[in-house]
Structure 1
Amino acid sequence: MSFPWARQYEPKNGLTKFLDERLPLPRLVYNAVGAGYPVPRNLSYFWNFGVLAGFFLVVQIVTGVVLAMHYAANAQVAFATTEHIMRDVNWGWLMRYAHANGASFFFIVVYLHIFRGLFYSSYKAPREMIWLLGVVIFLLMMATAFMGYVLPWGQMSFWGAKVITGLFGAIPLVGEPIQVWLLGGFAPDNAALNRFFSLHFLLPFVIAGVVILHIWALHIPGSSNPTGVEVKSESDTVPFHPYYTAKDGFGLGIALLLYFAMVFFLPNALGHPDNYIEANPLSTPAHIVPEWYFWPFYAILRAFTVDFFFVPAKLMGVIAMFASILLWFFLPWLDKSPVRSGHYRPLFRKFFWFGLIPAMIVLFICGGAPAEEPYVMLSQIATAYYFLHFLVILPIISSVEKPEPLPYSITEAVLGSDKKVVKGENTSPAV
């Protein structure tokens, strides 16, 4: 984002001048995350999760590369090499636990990042492209995580691959050939394991590329803020460094405390015990369940239990599961309210906190529960509300609700309604 008051990068010595003329990387960093990038002065800790997501992506790439050096993508030895990493490789247990729990923390901060975006309508103009690229990142994360879950070749790995790839078999005419093409055969085996390992190694670098586009798109209109009011003057902004590097650093410190508590004291709390049993195609687990971050979408998949005219229930579930994420692409056009922040939208706020959030919590719980009552009925109710919220309730609310008065500027929201302060006319040190 270009502001006339933004600080300009000035090389200090011969080396930095040489680099600035031939490869202006220091200037790029200075303008992207340094003092040369002004950001709204009122960003809360909800704006920390983007940085945290980037950090955990780096953790996943680094630990994943190390683990790949010792892993063999062969159905005969995959489980044994996983145990070899845990027992024989120096610090292998740490790398594996850091990678497994890093995936969970990556999803935690991304889910919080998404819900912040939904509440503050970060998908509205002029930030539609930021949101759309974010949804692409989330889809790539889900694909990467699913393929990674298969690699240990435990019971849940094998049967998870069997169930999830079997969903494509519900597609009429082309479903079964697609399923065979994905697996490289009629059941998960060496071909599937090799394909999933290759893609699991490749996709994080694709995610990193899309993250760069995501950040680039963010720097064009600039960051949103809790008020939803655009920047009007220099008094509305502060340099990203040192103000938000310090704030992000504090948030990262808290996240790392929680992360290392999980890695060292509860490393298997978010996993499934059946995955410590080697894959056996002849023994089906009593309760097949994916990783916790897939639970809400798994609950949506299982919510359809009755055929609808000529459409089988399984196909309806598959369509609904994918549609539950794909509809996020259309949010910038479904929500037509001119006000962004949920703080100033009383009707939207009620449906968000007492409708969407409880529905998502129910879907999380039901997705990890057995496919029996009352979980099936609860998942059906929550699924119905989820789609109604985005496709019906949100467009109606945006048309009929009366928003609360917005502050004149970001400065007014922070410092009060002093006209001189708001317009940037007061240049005293207190401001």
Structure 2
Amino acid sequence: MSFPWAKHYAPKHPLTRFLDEKLPLPRLVYNAVGAGYPVPRNLNYMYNFGVLAGFCLLLQIVTGVILAMHYAPNSLVAFGSTEHIMRDVNWGWMLRYGHANGASFFFVVVYLHIFRGFFYGSYKAPREMIWLLGVVIFLLMMATAFMGYVLPWGQMSYWGAKVITGLFSAIPLVGEPLQVWLLGGYAPDNAALNRFFSLHFLLPFVIAGVVILHIWALHIPGSTNPTGVEVKSESDTVPFHPYYTAKDGFGLGVFLICYCAFVFFLPNYLGHPDNYIEANALSTPAHIVPEWYFWPFYAILRAFTADIFFIPAKLMGVLAMFSAILVWFFLPWLDNSPVRSGHYRPLFRKFFWFGLIPTMAVLFYCGGAAAEEPYVMLSQVATAYYFLHFLVVLPIVSRIEKPKPLPFSITEAVLGSDNKAVLSENAKSAV
């Protein structure tokens, strides 16, 4: 994003001038997260979650690399090496708990980041590419988290891998060969563990690369804001530093307090006790359940209990589970409202708060519950509304609702009348 009033990097010290000429990294940082990057002045704390997601990714990479130095990806000793990390490696317990809980907090932050995008219309033009890259990041996160969950080689790790990879067998013709190819055999064993470890180590760096593209795409049109009104004048913006570095710093402090409370006082609260039992292919757990952040999609998978038009229920569940995320790719074209922010869309706001949010809450709850009534029926109702919301409700609402009047500019929304922006807009109209 380029504004005529943006400050430009001008190094004064000979060393910084030399660096700027040979490798303009200081200029890149200054323009990306410094005073050279103007940001809308009305961003609230819901916009902190992008920075927090980046911090979580860095935290996971650092702790994961150190843990990989002590972990043995072999089905005979994987469980023992995990216990070795917990008991014998200096600060190993903290690294392991920090990494496991860091994954959960990463998903908390990303879910809030996504739902903020839903409400404020962050997927609308000209920011479609930012949104599409964000959905790609989420898919990569899910793949990485699933493979990481297998590595401790406990009971839930083993049976979770068996169930999830078994979903591919529902695909006609190529399903079973694909499952065998993924596992390197007919059941999770040493080959599968090695593959999952390699990919779990590699994918975070792929995610980091896509995050760079995500941020790059963001800097072209600039950040959106709670009003959904585009920047019109210098008075609509403030430099990213020090205003939003301070605000993000406060948000990071609150995040770290919550994160450390779980790591040091509730380290196993978000995990499953069966994963402290070594994997046993001859002993099936009474209730196989994935990590909590997969629960809504697991509920959608289990919502299909009968064949539909000769299509097996298992295949329908798999297609629905993947479609629940893939539908997000089409949001920029499903929602045709000219207004971005939910603050100015009264009908959209009702369906969001009293439709989508309760539906996701039900799916989260049912995904972690046993596959029995009334949870299966609740999952079916919630799944039906989930797809109706994105494929039917959202397109219809975007066409029939009457939005509230938008403020002329961001400054007007914050401070009232914005004479400077009005004069600037009038000057453009005259030209």
TM-score (norm: length of structure 1): 0.98
Cα distance in structure 1, aligned partners of 2:268 and 2:422: 52
Shift of 1:180: 0.1
Cα distance in structure 2, aligned partners of 1:287 and 1:122: 38
- Within 5 Å, give how 1:98-137 maps onto structure 2: 98-137=98-137
Q: Secondary structure at the match of 2:12?
A: coil
Q: How many residues align?
A: 425
- The equivalent of 1:396 in structure 2 is 396
Cα distance in structure 2, aligned partners of 1:78 and 1:423: 68
Letter in 2 for 1:117: G
Gapped regions of structure 2 (runs ≥ 5): 426-431
- The equivalent of 2:428 in structure 1 is none
Whether the 8 Å CA contact 1:234–1:424 is kept in 2: the answer is no
Letter in 1 for 2:322: F
Cα distance in structure 2, aligned partners of 1:164 and 1:6: 50
Whether the 8 Å CA contact 2:233–2:420 is kept in 1: the answer is no
Cα distance in structure 2, aligned partners of 1:418 and 1:165: 58
Q: Secondary structure at the match of 2:380?
A: helix
Shift of 1:309: 1.7
Whether the 8 Å CA contact 2:155–2:277 is kept in 1: the answer is yes
- The equivalent of 1:58 in structure 2 is 58
- Within 5 Å, give how 1:172-321 maps onto structure 2: 172-321=172-321
- The equivalent of 1:12 in structure 2 is 12
1:90-144, Cα deviation, whole Å (9 max, x unpaired): 0000000000000000000000000000000100000000000000000000000
Cα distance in structure 2, aligned partners of 1:220 and 1:420: 24
- The equivalent of 2:170 in structure 1 is 170
Cα distance in structure 2, aligned partners of 1:176 and 1:421: 62
Cα distance in structure 1, aligned partners of 2:28 and 2:270: 39
1:356 aligns with 2:356: yes
Whether the 8 Å CA contact 1:346–1:403 is kept in 2: the answer is yes
1:53-78, Cα deviation, whole Å (9 max, x unpaired): 00010000000000000000000000
Whether the 8 Å CA contact 1:411–1:422 is kept in 2: the answer is no
Cα distance in structure 1, aligned partners of 2:388 and 2:88: 52
- The equivalent of 1:30 in structure 2 is 30
Cα distance in structure 2, aligned partners of 1:74 and 1:418: 65
Cα distance in structure 1, aligned partners of 2:239 and 2:44: 15
Whether the 8 Å CA contact 1:153–1:275 is kept in 2: the answer is yes
Whether the 8 Å CA contact 1:235–1:423 is kept in 2: the answer is no
Shift of 1:423: 4.8
Cα distance in structure 2, aligned partners of 1:374 and 1:168: 27
Structure 1 pair 208/171, CA: closer, same or farther in 2 (3 Å)?
Answer: same
Shift of 1:310: 1.3
Runs ≥4 residues deviating over 4 A = 420-425
Letter in 2 for 1:68: A
1:378 aligns with 2:378: yes
- Within 5 Å, give how 1:146-165 maps onto structure 2: 146-165=146-165
- The equivalent of 2:345 in structure 1 is 345
- The equivalent of 2:331 in structure 1 is 331
Whether the 8 Å CA contact 1:233–1:423 is kept in 2: the answer is no
Whether the 8 Å CA contact 1:412–1:422 is kept in 2: the answer is no
Identity rate, percent: 86
Q: Secondary structure at the match of 2:39?
A: strand
Cα distance in structure 2, aligned partners of 1:281 and 1:34: 54
Gapped regions of structure 1 (runs ≥ 5): 426-431
Cα distance in structure 1, aligned partners of 2:193 and 2:63: 20
Cα distance in structure 1, aligned partners of 2:270 and 2:181: 31
Shift of 1:12: 1.6
Cα distance in structure 1, aligned partners of 2:421 and 2:173: 67
Shift of 1:419: 3.1
1:23-80, Cα deviation, whole Å (9 max, x unpaired): 0000000000000000000000000000000001000000000000000000000000
Deviates more, 1:121-130 or 1:415-424: 415-424
1:67 aligns with 2:57: no
Q: Secondary structure at the match of 1:238?
A: strand
Whether the 8 Å CA contact 1:301–1:317 is kept in 2: the answer is yes
Letter in 2 for 1:164: I
Letter in 1 for 2:369: A
- The equivalent of 1:419 in structure 2 is 419
- The equivalent of 1:429 in structure 2 is none
Q: Secondary structure at the match of 2:370?
A: coil
Shift of 1:395: 0.2
Cα distance in structure 2, aligned partners of 1:92 and 1:12: 45
Shift of 1:418: 5.0
Whether the 8 Å CA contact 1:235–1:424 is kept in 2: the answer is no
